[in-house]
Amino acid sequence: MKIDFKIIKRICRAMDYTLIQFRPVYQQAISEVNDNGIRSALWAKRADILTQDFESDESIKVLHIKRGNLWQIDPVADLDSGDLYVLMSRKNLKERIKEAKQKQFSPHYLYSLLIKNSYIKVKQPKEVSLFPLYSEETEKEHFAYRMEDCERILGNYQEKIKRIIVVAVDYEAEIAITAHAIVYDSNYNVADDIDVSDYLLPATHTITHTITGESSQESTTVPLVKFRQNKKIQKEDK
């Protein structure tokens, strides 16, 4: 799979920013006692990081797309290649895939965007269902919905975007531990998957020690991902 590893590197930098770094900012600016909205605010902060990081590059555009009144997504568009990089946590990605495959439909934005990957064909054993969930007419309606929603999402960039790439990051104890760049076909079947965990930074966080009833804090750098830079990434990142 051909991807821009320089873009991936910057995306991983933003996704490596977690509640460990953001919570003190949130507590100072919003509330010390109420975490309502902190996770959506964290995604907003990541959008700021991405936008600032790509600001000087005219061929890269961070799209700011409203989804209803409460949510916004901020994928990264490579206007030269036509690739759109969608950022998700691995946990949420798995839940959305499970939902879409069980219901054969999903209102989630990725379900609509993946219509762009319809030209990608992944060989899968053909499943024969005695009781299809939907009629042929309903399936056509679902396809039309995906097309229309994809156009709503991409707006003026509808014609420029040719392929959707998901950058999925797995977190443990609010620390980014693995990252993958994944290309799916339009039915969530994996066409290609590249481990890009090497681009996650070592995690720096604060550990609190209690000594004779008093608390002291120190900043500790914990490299959770071994930087075993593979040859392909070394070559592409030059």
pLDDT in tens, 124-143: 776 655 556 778 888 899 99
pTM, rounded to two decimals: 0.83
Per residue in 151-208, pLDDT tens?
999 999 999 999 999 999 999 999 999 999 999 999 999 999 999 999 997 644 443 3
Please name the amino acid found at residue 64.
H
What pairs with residue 163 in β-bridges? 83
Q: Is the pLDDT of residue 219 over 60?
A: no
Q: How far is CA 38 from CA 32, 33, 62, 146, in A?
A: 11, 11, 22, 30
Strands (E), 74-162: 76-78, 83-89
Pairing state of beta strands 163-172 and 83-89? Answer: parallel
Per residue in 82-116, pLDDT tens?
999 999 999 999 999 999 988 889 999 999 999 99
For 191, the token pair is: 């066409």
How confident is the model at residue 70, as a pLDDT?
83
Average pLDDT score over the chain: 86
